[in-house]
Amino acid sequence: MLITDIQPGSKIVIIARTPGNQLEFKTTTGDIIADKNMILAELIKQDEKLLTFKGHNVITDIMLPLENANPQVFVNVEINLIKKADGSIWYALRTIAGSKAFNRRASFRCTVGTPTTVQLGLNKQTYDGYMKDVSNTGFGFVCDDTVPIEMDQVIYANLNDYIERLDENFSFRLSGIVVNIVPMEKNRIKVGCRFNKDVPGIDKYIVTKERMRLKNTKGKAGS
């Protein structure tokens, strides 16, 4: 998919990345300027200040959520301001590169299997769930289908896992964007999230957890 294939009025996410951090901002697309490999998008303000996405080491990507399909991501998109003939100001999003499907399943997923609590955005209310798995790109959990989770929503979740064999405790505060919601039996849903912030130590946890799983498997096979 080319960026000019995104239809006017589409909901997109601008992802601003800096070393060790990532922020996401929702906006809506406007006109297509095909001869310049460009589309327009509505401006975003925070605290009455216009976001320009300019700065040292800032890289901007564009994500297009799709129903019943993996989101499409355009990497390293150039973002400038443009003034239309009617005087209105818009973001001009430009890239000649095609998109890539975001697929958390492409990364190795480590089974976790511990209780968790999840928080929906800035809402302080928490909901009980079950941390199903985690990878270096995101995490998946299961909860009741009454939890008001929506696509593209920011989710915070706790991952706490004590590995008795090593007498070591791992504790993480995960933050991600909902990219997949799958209905399950018994009024449950499985939710897949893509990390929107780096999680220091998660790689070590995944390696340690998998090493213990392999040792347990070999031990059972030899018994």
Same domain, yes or no: 81 and 135: no
Question: How far is the C-alpha of 200 from the C-alpha of 176, rounded, in Å?
Answer: 14
Residue 212 and residue 152 share a domain: yes
Query: Which tens digit of pLDDT belongs to each residue from 203-215?
Result: 889 888 888 877 7
Rounded to the nearest 10°, the torsion over CA 188, 189, 195, 197 is -50
Q: What is the pLDDT of residues 116-173, one digit of tens each?
A: 999 998 888 999 999 999 988 899 999 999 999 998 899 999 999 998 888 889 999 9
Domain that residue 59 falls in: 3-101
Same domain, 87 and 109: no
Domain boundary among 101, 120, 146: 101
| Same domain, residue pair 80 and 152 | no
Residue that is last in its domain, among 75, 101, 127: 101
Count of structural domains, the chain: 2
Interval 167-222: pLDDT, tens: 889 999 999 999 889 899 999 999 999 898 888 898 889 888 888 877 776 555 55
Q: Are residues 154 and 89 in the same domain?
A: no
pTM given for the model: 0.58
